[in-house]
Chains A and B, each alone.
Chain A
Amino acid sequence: MADVKTIIEQFDGAGDAAFRVTASSLPEAFAGCGLALSYLLLPGLSESQPQWPWEPWVRSAQALRVVRVSSADHEGLLVDFLNELIVLFDGEAFVGRRFNVKIVKHAQGGSVIRLEAEIQGLLLGSAQLSPAEGEPTVIGLVPKAVSYHLLKIAEEPTGVWSAQFVLDA
Chain B
Amino acid sequence: MEQSISRRGFLKAAAATSAALAVSGETSTFFDQPGQAFADSASKRTMYKTACHGCAHCCAVKAYVEDGVVVKLEGDPDGPLNRGGMCLKGLSQLHTVYSPRRVLHPMKRVGERGENKWEAITWDEALDLAGTQIAEAVKKYGGYSLWTAQGGGGAYIQAETRGINATFGGCNTVASGSNQCAMPREMITKATLGFQGCVNMGDMGRFVGCWTAEAFKTRVPEPEDRLFVIWGLQPTANGVAHTGHALTDARALFGAKTIVVDPYLTSEASKADVWLPVRPGTDSALLLAWIRWIIDNKRYNEKYCKYWTNLPFLINPETKLPYEATDIWPDYVNPAIDPNGIYDTPAYVCFDEKTQSVQPFPYTAPDDSPVDPAIFTTAMVNGVEAKTAGQIWWEEASPWTLEAAAETCWLEADKIEEALELYVSIENSGITGGVFSEQQECTSAVPLGMVMIDAMMGRVLTPNSSYVKHGKNSIPTHRPTLRIAEGREMCERYGVGWMIGWTKEHNDEYLSSKVQAWNDQGRDGEAMRKQFVQAMFDTLGSNAHKGMHQWTQSALKETREAIITGEPYRPRVNYEVSGNKYMVVSPALEWQKAYAEQDFIIQQFPNMTSFTVDCVDLFLPTEEWLEFDNYGDNGSSMIRSYARQQVVHMGEAVNPFVVPWHVTHSAIEALGEENCFDAHATDGFFYETIESARATFAKKLGKNSWDEVLADQDHLYTEISPEDYFIFNQHETIVDDGLPAGFATMSRKVEPYCSLLIRLARTGFPYMYPFDQPACDDYDPICKFKEPSESPLTDTEYPLVLTNGRVPHFHHNTMRHAPFVRECMPAPELKINPVTAAEYGINHGDWVKVTSRRGSCSLVAYLTEGIAPGVLITERFWNPECFDDTQSSITAGFEECNCNVLGAEFQNDVFSSNSYRALQVKIEKGSKPDRVWVESSEFEPFMPTRQNEANKEEVF
Q: Do A and B come from one complex?
A: no
